[in-house]
Amino acid sequence: MAGEVTVRLPDGSARTLPAGSTAADLASAIGRRLAADALAAEVDGELVDLRRVLPDGATVSIVTPASDQGRAVLRHSTAHVLAQAVTALWPGAEYAIGPAITDGFYYDFDLPGGARFTDADLERIEAEMRRIVGEDQPFVREELAIHDALSMFAGQAYKREIIAGVAQQGEPGFGAEAAGDVAPGATTVSIYRNSDAFVDLCLGPHVPSTGRLGHFKLQRVAGAYWRGDDKRPQLQRVYGTAWESAKALEEHLHRLEEAERRDHRRLGADLDLFSFPPEIGSGLAVFHPKGGLMRRLMEDYSRQRHEAGGYEFVYSPHITKSDLFETSGHLDWFADGMFPPMELDEGQRYYLKPMNCPFHIMIFKSRQRSYRELPLRFFEFGTVYRYEKSGVVHGLTRVRGLTQDDAHIFCAREQMAGELESTLTFVLDLLRDYGLDDFYLELSTKPPGKAVGTDEEWEEATTTLRTVAESMDLDLVLDEGGGAFYGPKISVQVRDAIGRSWQLSTVQLDFQLPQRFAMEYVGADNARHRPIMIHRALFGTVERFFAILLEHYAGAMPTWLSPLQVVVLPVRDDHDAYARHVAATCAAAGLRAEVDPASEPLGARIRRHRMQKVPYVLVVGDDDVPAGTVGVNRRGTKDPDKGVFLDVVVAAVAAEVAAHGLPERGGDVAVVR
RNA sequence: GCCUGGGUAGCUCAGUGGUAGAGCAGCGCACUCGUAAUGCGCAGGUCAGGGGUUCAAGUCCCCUCCCAGGCUCCA
């Protein structure tokens, strides 16, 4: 009907407004609070400004701050304010792009005269931003013809490049779908103006005015290459975070602190677990006795499970002649990630191995194989070396020397789906035993231009993996083009105690290496067949898994993985003999226990062992010696449990260890700072 | 590799041109104590390494090494 438009709301209801009404009008019509809260709107799946006129029949929802979309809008608007502040403080600064990202935003700049931001500049910029927010400047959208836009951004090379890209092909993310009213091969672009001082090329949407912003904080500066390309100019990137309320901002900053407190590098030093002596080299860790013990416990349990799961244990050397990696294709595809070769007398080149697979293939090929043997599952904690670029090494999670809990399954094609399924089940079960239980799966497909093998092979492998992944009853996300050069993979992503996700296990399907190495087995038909190969690592790498567990538990490892499980504290010297008896009783039950004698006050000793996150601290004094009891301080509890019979405590702890129990996962967080 | 910020005692850090400091940890002695730091003392540093400026350098300049964050979120 002329003169009116009818729109549909998220709850299914419809509302009729005068023609020409905007999203803001709709919000007002729904309610005063919504009108005050509204930041933007979603019209037929497209995010738009509140000032957008609503078309008849549209499905509309109002975007408010405390939503993912709302936060994205206000972060992006805050990025604009950042750019406005920087251009005010550095006249002539060029600004490139400034998107919203997870938890925040950034903007990339090219400052006049090659100037660089310093940390101190962040404060000045932030002050200027707060001034702009205080002026409550409206964000005003305009459409410009391409040639007008090019002249408007005459001094802005990066903006001009973006506009030129739009003009050429209607860049993805621009043009038709995003601007809504612009056809593909667009001839116009949109800009946003706030005050006369600042205008930016932008799709929008934006908050109505800068006064709607304010709960933000600039965090750091960093270099970032234009378009992520290290052959192009490096820009100065400013990162910040922005939220819908002071409370949300504060909570986010607190989460960052919490993550820092859990940083495995810090815990590794505090708990004396491992270190990275610069004398050894970047990305090369040493494990100290306590860390070594934890690592051995992790590995031993894994070995036990693998043995029960039908894996056979193999060993292979750390270096090999180049031939092996020429055949495998690694030297063609992975040479950048490998340490340079060692040249021997006869001109023979030896490489440190970056992967274990070719060695396991050699074991397969050491004699003729029969179909009766398949599937063959070879397992090894294989230490490999990868030349990570100096800027990317990070604690134990990105290192240059690493140990994979690596196995290769060789099977007949018809066994493939079944093996994949049992492997995935095995993976998830094992990870749960370490206390991780929040998973999702990711399917990585053929990397364009960086893969070997035919499309048909990739198609078959990918379909098989997808089918198996879908049967797992977990969320599955697609990682287009993320596969290895020899095959697609499923990776298991795990969310830790503070909600971060980590890529752990990978299961890769491989038709290529069996072919390159001319692997075969004799089938029941007495003919030769090519086996399928499945690569899989559950921890990913032992070092990285160690770091993830450490952060997941904030250093308070479950008792079965704690290097020291029980410390016994005699109140006075004359309780020593009984304390030793208590420790010996624990040891006899298979627990790792120590006595810390009374050369220091009790309070000091309690404090030290609590900070070292020992699961059980037992105190014995005058009351305990005659009664055969102990005072039990369980990690994560505030008050001791006094006068508990020794055999009761020992039995309980031993049972907890046997069950891999998790009494209070990370529960002492609030107590120890 | 590149950008920004760092490197001072085992650890955390103070010290911006004029005699290298603190707390914790370590060692010694005393204290013998019932639930998150007992007291006193001692030792510990070519201020990352090298070069330069200066009467004088931890401090200013240059080079190298190492560490952290970022360079993957694309108007």
CA triple A368-A372-A376, angle to 5 deg: 75
Q: Residue A163: which nucleotide is closest by CA–C1'?
A: B75
Q: Known catalytic residue: A404?
A: yes
Within residues 254-273 of protein chain A, the ones with CB less than 7 A from nucleic strand B are: 265, 269
Q: Residue A599: which nucleotide is closest by CA–C1'?
A: B32
What are the pLDDT digits (tens) for A110-123?
A: 888 777 787 778 88
Q: Which helix (H) or strand (E) holds A294?
A: helix A289-308
Q: Which residue out of A306, A330, A408, A613 is catalytically annotated?
A: A408
CA of A442 to C1' of B45 (A): 52
**pLDDT at residue A268 greater than cutoff 80:** yes
CB-based contacts of A378: which residues, under 8 Å, 6+ apart?
A: A311, A312, A313, A314, A360, A363, A364, A407, A408, A409, A410
What are the pLDDT digits (tens) for A292-331?
A: 999 999 999 999 999 999 999 999 999 999 889 989 888 8
**pLDDT at residue A595 greater than cutoff 90:** yes
Mean pLDDT on A433-461: 84
The total of other beta-carbon atoms located within 10 Å of residue A143's CB is 14
The token duo for A345 is 């007398």
Mean pLDDT on A123-127: 86
* Whole-angstrom distance, CA of residue A105 vs CA of residue A226: 16
**pLDDT at residue A639 greater than cutoff 70:** yes
Mean pLDDT on A558-581: 95
Q: How confident is the model at residue A185 (pLDDT cuts 50, 70, 90)?
A: low
Q: Which residue out of A49, A200, A405, A406 is catalytically annotated?
A: A406
Q: Residue A121: which nucleotide is closest by CA–C1'?
A: B4
Beta bridge partners of A620: A570
Within residues 370-429 of protein chain A, the ones with CB less than 7 A from nucleic strand B are: 389-395
CA of A120 to C1' of B16 (A): 17
- Cβ of A45 near strand B (under 7 Å)? The reply is no
pLDDT of residue A481: 81
Which of A103-107, A454-458, A464-468, A635-639 has the lowest average pLDDT?
A: A454-458
Which of A181-185, A429-433, A481-485, A567-571 has the lowest average pLDDT?
A: A181-185
Yes or no: say if A202 and A153 are a contact pair by the CB < 8 Å rule: no
pLDDT of residue A393: 82
Instruction: Find, among A298, A289, A302, A301, the residue nearest to A564 by Cα.
Output: A289
- Cβ of A222 near strand B (under 7 Å)? The reply is yes
Within residues 335-374 of protein chain A, the ones with CB less than 7 A from nucleic strand B are: none
Q: Which nucleotides on chain B have any atom < 7 A from a protein Cβ?
A: 1-5, 11-12, 30-38, 65-75
Compare A66 and A378 and report the one with higher pLDDT. A378
**pLDDT at residue A645 greater than cutoff 50:** yes
pLDDT of residue A179: 31
- When the pLDDT of each residue in chain A is averaged and rounded to a whole number, the result is 87
Mean pLDDT on A473-494: 85
CA of A600 to C1' of B29 (A): 14
Mean pLDDT on A512-516: 89
- Cβ of A633 near strand B (under 7 Å)? The reply is yes
Within residues 609-628 of protein chain A, the ones with CB less than 7 A from nucleic strand B are: 610-611, 617, 619-624
pLDDT of residue A673: 23
- Cβ of A668 near strand B (under 7 Å)? The reply is yes
Q: How confident is the model at residue A399 (pLDDT cuts 50, 70, 90)?
A: confident
Q: Which residue out of A237, A264, A357, A411 is catalytically annotated?
A: A357
Q: Which residue out of A369, A386, A605, A613 is catalytically annotated?
A: A386
